[in-house]
């Protein structure tokens, strides 16, 4: 029972008699939590009932409310917090916790009101009050963002950052909110939250849509891993006994770690992969870390196609890492990276001898424990390997595809979706967060040079629609020529693709799943390949589908090509016919070959490990690269349009070296 050796009944009697001090109450409760939680609740009940005049009753009620929240007794927890605030309206933590309880009860509006209330009760911003204020603001922003209120989210987060500009998570989310709204410039400094604060705090996923600067992206991923992932909570696994045991059948144990083996873009892409693996060569374990998906048919498909399916969502990182190690996983494939619900802190414990970055995150991890990244010759050319901390391994085309995808039989007409019948329809169904000012300027020029054409975009936040139309009008384009498509289920979304004439890709974060969807449905895709991973995926897919002439490498070529095709429907019909003819034979949709090639990569990776040749990530000088990258205004000057990218970087590094000499590294700086 811990420190308390007495009888719980005796403690309740003393509480009822008013003889139990607050410190004794807390001490006894802490000692008994593990063995008699019901008794602890009764003890608090007795204290609260018989100590109405106690000067610290509000604090007792706060502790009681926290205990009840942990027990998921939300209604009585709310009453405890409400009473605590009635006794002491200036007890700020109770507002925060009461808001969380209201949120869990489904009353989001009441939750936001609680967090908003605290912002009006802090007349003097001392250290403690700043903490409470930022905590309340961040809670409000989290709920507002979940309800897709991006404008309100941005406003609240900016208030939080002005109080404490060094916060990393609010900086990440305010940038993401501006990207979703197509609010330009993306980086908007405040009085205290400087450009450097925001550029250092941007998330690795957001930077892919912000700038085509692979050196900056590498440094930012390293920094994010250092600050946001940090040191693991448990001991690193230094010896993988089960993995290193020779198996009589010679099979390699592969683990796929993902939160997206369900109704999700990744879930659709990987749909055939696990089932196509050759079980004479590999044994497939799936480690799922996503939301509850028991009724999701795609999730059930992954359960069936895995030799072992392990749901680690409820496991802490140490327990999950030990489970993976005990399963003898030799190669663990991280199919999340720096995306929602990824388990990077688990990977920091090194649960497998070899860890691979593939498919989920379009870029380098910049971590000390991801050994390989899987790409292809187009996505990472040999001279770009220096921008990746991992060793690069290549497939013919890095992205798998589901050839069994369902397309709704009902095919809509243009009239059904609000498109003009005879207009040339350019479309882009990428998320609005991928639309930069530079991309949109190019689209406006294309529309202006192709009279009567329209641009069909996937709907996003309401404010993004307003911002895009307002910007177009400011450039002399009729905003009615921009049409938004409602979001639909995947089968119905696919069915409407053929209504478009040409898909226009975004840059620097191009179409990935959306590109392969368009090509599968016979819609040609025009892309502008940049230098970074996310900026080159679409080019890889288009080439692998047999349309290399639709991959451009300069902004001017992209615009001119789009305009030429807008005047040449015959050529587009030729492309459509080629897509139709090649669909069953082209590299892009040959998932069986991709899986065979993956197995070849796995075999080489494991052989290298057994012979002491496992690659170690190169993280040299990345703090300096991050520092140098932040000296450029990426909103004002598009890095992708800089012809001599390496010269651009070498000049900046030379200035930095003159001030404080840099150690030797093999990327851009030779000292």
* Contacts (Cβ under 8 Å, ≥6 apart) of 364: 217, 218, 221, 357, 373, 387, 388, 389, 390, 533
Mean pLDDT to the nearest integer, 194-200 = 94
Residue 69, burial from CB neighbour count under 10 angstroms (0-12, 13-18, 19+): buried
Using one digit for the tens of pLDDT, what is the confidence trace for 332-341?
A: 999 999 999 9
pLDDT score at 670: 62
Mean pLDDT to the nearest integer, 248-272 = 96
pLDDT of 128 higher than 90 = no
Q: Which of 231-245, 363-377, 653-667 has the least mean pLDDT?
A: 653-667
pLDDT score at 3: 42
Q: Which of 1-5, 50-54, 289-293, 369-373 has the least mean pLDDT?
A: 1-5
DSSP, residue by residue, 328-342: T-SEEEES-SSSTT-
Mean pLDDT to the nearest integer, 448-468 = 95
Q: How far apart are CA 12 and CA 22, in angstroms?
A: 13
pLDDT score at 4: 47
HSE-CB of 175 using CA atoms within 13 angstroms: 29
Q: Please count the other Cβ atoms lying within 10 Å of the Cβ belonging to residue 7.
A: 9
> Which tokens belong to 309?
């399916």
Mean pLDDT to the nearest integer, 6-14 = 75
Q: How far apart are CA 191 and CA 163, in angstroms?
A: 10
Backbone φ and ψ of 289, nearest 5°? -130, 30
Q: Which of 68-72, 491-495, 610-614, 667-671 has the least mean pLDDT?
A: 667-671
pLDDT of 520 higher than 80 = yes
Buried-state track 73-104, b at ≥16 Cβ within 10 A, e below 16: ebebbbbbbbbbbebbeebbbbbbbbbbbbbe
Using one digit for the tens of pLDDT, what is the confidence trace for 78-109?
A: 999 999 888 888 777 888 889 889 888 988 88
pLDDT of 461 higher than 90 = no
pLDDT score at 663: 81
Q: How far apart are CA 537 and CA 162, in angstroms?
A: 37
Q: How far apart are CA 88 and CA 77, in angstroms?
A: 17
pTM: 0.87
Integer CA distances (angstroms), 669 to 243, 621, 622, 626, 653, in order: 39, 10, 12, 14, 7
Q: Over the chain, what is the mean pLDDT?
A: 92
Integer CA distances (angstroms), 498 to 344, 351, 432, 521, 626, in order: 39, 45, 21, 6, 43
Instruction: Express as a percent the part of the chain with pLDDT over 90.
Output: 73
pLDDT score at 43: 85
Q: How far apart are CA 177 and CA 433, in angstroms?
A: 8
pLDDT score at 499: 98
Q: Is the sign of the CA dihedral 329, 254, 310, 279 positive or negative?
A: negative
Q: How confident is the model at residue 2 (pLDDT cuts 50, 70, 90)?
A: very low
pLDDT score at 185: 97
Length of the chain: 671
Q: Which of 146-155, 278-287, 356-365, 523-532 has the least mean pLDDT?
A: 146-155
Q: Please count the other Cβ atoms lying within 10 Å of the Cβ belonging to residue 513.
A: 20
Q: How confident is the model at residue 1 (pLDDT cuts 50, 70, 90)?
A: very low
DSSP, residue by residue, 273-331: HHHHS-TTTEEEEEEE-SS--TT-HHHHHHHHHSSEEEE-TTS-HHHHHHHHHHTT-SE
Cβ–Cβ under 8 Å, residues 657 and 671: yes
Instruction: Express as a percent the part of the chain with pLDDT over 70.
Output: 97
The 3-state secondary structure of 6-56, one letter per residue: CCHHHHHHHHHCCCCCHHHHHHHHHHHCCCCHHHHHHHHHHHHHHCCCCCC
Using one digit for the tens of pLDDT, what is the confidence trace for 17-62?
A: 877 787 787 778 777 776 778 888 888 888 888 888 888 888 788 8
Cβ–Cβ under 8 Å, residues 511 and 519: no
Q: Whose CA is closest to 637, among 440, 446, 437? A: 437
pLDDT of 216 higher than 80 = yes
pLDDT score at 124: 53
Q: How confident is the model at residue 671 (pLDDT cuts 50, 70, 90)?
A: very low
Using one digit for the tens of pLDDT, what is the confidence trace for 366-424?
A: 999 999 999 999 999 999 999 999 999 999 999 999 999 999 999 999 999 999 999 99
Mean pLDDT to the nearest integer, 155-174 = 93
Residue 375, helix vs strand vs coil: strand
Q: How far apart are CA 232 and CA 195, in angstroms?
A: 30
pLDDT score at 246: 77
> Which tokens belong to 136?
């309340």
pLDDT of 7 higher than 70 = no
Q: How far apart are CA 72 and CA 183, in angstroms?
A: 40
């Amino acid at each position: 029972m811990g420190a308390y050796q007495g009888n719980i009944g005796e403690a309740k009697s003393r509480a009822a008699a008013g003889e139990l001090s607050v410190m004794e109450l807390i001490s006894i409760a802490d000692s008994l939590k593990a063995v008699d939680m019901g008794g602890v609740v009764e003890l608090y009940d007795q204290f609260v009932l018989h100590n109405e005049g106690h000067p610290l009753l509000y604090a007792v009620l706060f502790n009681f409310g926290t205990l009840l929240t942990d027990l998921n007794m939300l209604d009585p927890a709310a009453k405890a917090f409400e009473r605590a605030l009635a006794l002491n309206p200036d007890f700020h933590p109770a507002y925060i916790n009461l808001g969380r309880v209201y949120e869990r009860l489904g009353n989001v509006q009441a939750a936001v009101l609680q967090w908003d209330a605290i912002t009006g009760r802090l007349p003097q911003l001392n250290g403690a009050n700043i903490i409470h204020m930022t905590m309340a603001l961040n809670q409000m922003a989290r709920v507002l963002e979940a309800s897709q209120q991006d404008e309100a989210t941005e406003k609240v987060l900016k208030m939080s950052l002005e109080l404490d500009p060094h916060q990393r998570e609010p900086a990440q989310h305010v940038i993401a909110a501006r990207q979703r709204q197509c609010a330009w410039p993306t980086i908007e400094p405040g009085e205290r939250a400087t450009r450097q604060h925001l550029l250092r705090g941007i998330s690795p996923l957001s930077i892919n849509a912000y700038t085509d600067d692979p050196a900056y992206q590498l440094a930012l991923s390293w920094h994010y891993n250092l600050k946001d992932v940090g040191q693991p909570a448990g001991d690193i696994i230094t010896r993988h006994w089960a993995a290193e045991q020779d198996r009589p059948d010679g099979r390699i144990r592969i683990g796929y770690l993902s939160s997206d083996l369900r109704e999700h873009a990744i879930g659709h892409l990987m749909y055939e992969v696990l089932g196509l693996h050759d079980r004479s060569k590999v044994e497939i374990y799936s480690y799922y870390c996503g939301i509850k998906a028991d009724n999701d048919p795609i999730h059930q498909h992954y359960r069936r196609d895995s030799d072992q399916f392990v749901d680690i969502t409820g496991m802490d990182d140490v327990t999950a890492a030990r489970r993976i190690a005990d399963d003898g996983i030799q190669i663990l494939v991280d199919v999340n990276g720096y995306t929602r619900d990824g388990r990077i802190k688990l990977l920091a414990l090194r649960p497998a001898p070899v860890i691979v970055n593939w498919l989920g995150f379009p870029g380098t991890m910049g971590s000390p424990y991801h050994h390989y990244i899987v790409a292809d010759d187009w996505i990472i050319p040999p001279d770009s390997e220096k921008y990746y901390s991992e060793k690069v391994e290549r497939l013919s085309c890095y992205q798998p595809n589901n050839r069994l995808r369902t397309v709704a039989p009902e095919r809509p007409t243009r009239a059904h979706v609000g498109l003009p019948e005879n207009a040339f329809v350019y479309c882009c169904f990428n998320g609005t967060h991928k639309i930069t000012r530079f991309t949109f300027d190019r689209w406006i020029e294309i529309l202006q040079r192709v009279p009567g054409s329209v641009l069909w975009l996937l709907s996003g936040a309401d404010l993004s629609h307003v911002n895009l139309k307002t910007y177009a009008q400011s450039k002399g384009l009729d905003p009615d020529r921009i049409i938004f498509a409602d979001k639909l289920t995947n089968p119905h979304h696919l069915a409407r693709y053929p209504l478009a004439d040409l898909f226009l890709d975004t840059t620097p974060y191009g179409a990935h799943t959306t590109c392969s969807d368009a090509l599968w449905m016979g819609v040609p895709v025009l892309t502008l390949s940049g230098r970074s991973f996310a900026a080159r995926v679409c080019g890889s897919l288009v080439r692998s589908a047999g349309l290399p002439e639709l991959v451009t490498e300069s902004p001017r070529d992209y615009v001119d090509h789009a305009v030429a095709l807008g005047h040449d429907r015959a050529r587009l019909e030729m492309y459509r016919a080629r897509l139709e003819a090649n669909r069953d034979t082209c590299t892009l949709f040959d998932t069986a070959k991709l899986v065979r090639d993956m197995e070849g990569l796995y075999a080489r990776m494991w052989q290298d490990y057994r012979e002491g040749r496992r690659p170690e990530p190169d993280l040299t000088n990345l703090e300096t690269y991050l520092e140098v990258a932040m000296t450029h205004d990426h909103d004002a000057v598009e890095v992708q349009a800089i012809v001599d990218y390496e010269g651009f970087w070498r000049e900046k590094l030379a200035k930095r070296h003159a001030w404080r000499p840099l150690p030797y590294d093999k990327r851009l700086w030779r000292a």
